[in-house]
């Protein structure tokens, strides 16, 4: 009897684990690669050499967690995020689909209310999830990249939480962006680079290293102006393996 109960439990556990695996399918390669050529920050991704490469993480309401508002489909809000690196920099690229790119706010304290891509890095391993600001060390970051600020096209990077404000002096994260439109979709591309020497922990982005990472998008609903938010994998980190 005991044995069969164990067997049933094992089958149930395997089922739960396969469902969890299925829920993660498509979220991306969870890998960061070395840059094979110089990256030029110009809003165009042709220099990234990523043709045929799966994104590091992908955000899509088909499998990501919408934890504020309602996001109907990938045409409303979704993104492909890539991470490359070399000895000096960690390079960040996001191709964001957004049907209402907007940025009325300026100033770091309110930039998170604009259309944004939010990149959550934990190099310390201390915070249990990216929302645990109280447990952030000097090696944990939220980096927001916005194409618009103050109501105009003004690509801006901002580091949170407030304990990391020293990283916002003189804008050490260089950024470029480009708004785009196709007949069916609209959105933006952002490229940025983080200087490893100025950001403790980023030196772990080197061959054989690992770090914890998550991505979220801020979307402002086109009809209601509601602030909406979607996460991959959720309000939690995934481990990225550096190639
Ligand atoms: Ca470029
Ligand atoms: Ca919506």
Nearest CA to 104 among 218, 181, 229, 231?
Answer: 218
In whole angstroms, how large is the CA radius of gyration of the chain?
A: 19
Distance 206 CA to ligand 1 centre (A): 21
Please report which ligand is nearest the Cα atom of 69: 2
pLDDT of residue 10: 52
Cα(222) to ligand 2 centroid in Å equals: 7
Task: Name the closest ligand to CA 224.
Answer: 2
CA of 243 to the centre of ligand 1 (A): 21
- The whole-number pLDDT of residue 4 equals 52
Ligand with the closest atom to the CA of 41: 1
b or e along 138-170 (b: 16 or more beta carbons within 10 Å of the residue's beta carbon)?
ebbbbbbbbbbbeeeeebbbbbbeeebeebbee
Ligand 1 mean position to 100 CA, how many Å? 23
Q: Is the pTM of this model over 0.75?
A: yes
What are the residues facing 195 on neighbouring strands?
89
Cβ(72)–Cβ(61) below 8 Å: yes
The tally of domains found in the chain comes to: 1
* 135, 161 contact by CB (below 8 A): no
Q: Which ligand is nearest to the CA of 225?
A: 2
DSSP track, 160-204: ESGGGGGGGTT--SEEEEEEEE-SS-EEEEEEEEEEGGGSTTGGG
Q: Which domain holds residue 33?
A: 2-242
Helix ranges (H only) for the chain are: 2-24
Ligand at minimal distance from the CA of 222 is: 2
Can you give the CATH number for the domain in which 36 is found? 2.60.40.1190
Q: How far is the CA of 189 from the centre of ligand 1 (A)?
A: 9
Output the tens digit of pLDDT for each of the chain's 243 residues: 445 554 544 555 444 444 444 456 789 999 999 999 999 999 999 999 998 899 999 999 999 999 999 999 999 999 999 999 999 999 999 999 999 999 999 988 899 999 999 999 999 999 999 999 999 999 999 999 999 999 999 999 999 999 999 999 999 999 999 999 999 999 999 999 999 999 999 999 999 999 999 999 999 999 999 999 999 999 999 999 999
Ligand nearest to the CA of residue 45, numbered in listed order: 1
């Amino acid at each position: 009897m005991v044995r069969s109960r164990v067997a049933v439990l094992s089958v149930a556990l395997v089922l739960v684990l396969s469902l969890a695996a299925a829920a993660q399918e498509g979220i991306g390669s969870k890998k960061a690669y070395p840059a094979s050529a110089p990256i030029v920050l110009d809003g165009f991704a042709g220099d990234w050499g990523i043709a045929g490469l799966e994104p590091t993480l992908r955000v899509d309401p088909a499998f990501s967690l919408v934890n504020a508002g309602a996001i109907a489909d990938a045409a409303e809000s979704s993104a492909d995020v890539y991470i490359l690196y070399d000895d000096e920099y960690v390079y960040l690229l996001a191709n964001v689909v957004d049907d209402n790119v907007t940025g009325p706010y300026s100033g770091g304290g309110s930039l998170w209310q604009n259309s944004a891509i939010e990149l959550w890095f934990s190099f310390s391993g201390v915070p249990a999830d990216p929302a645990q600001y109280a447990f952030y060390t000097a090696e944990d970051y939220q980096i927001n990249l916005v194409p618009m600020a103050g109501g105009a096209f003004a690509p801006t990077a901002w580091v949170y939480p407030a304990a990391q404000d020293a990283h916002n002096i003189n804008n050490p994260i260089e950024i470029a962006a480009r708004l785009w439109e196709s007949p069916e979709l609209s959105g933006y591309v952002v490229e940025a680079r983080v200087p490893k020497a100025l950001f403790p922990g980023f030196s772990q982005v080197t061959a054989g290293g690992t770090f914890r990472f998550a991505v979220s998008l801020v979307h402002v609903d086109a009809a209601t102006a509601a602030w909406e938010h979607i996460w991959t994998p959720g309000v939690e980190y995934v481990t990225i393996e550096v190639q």
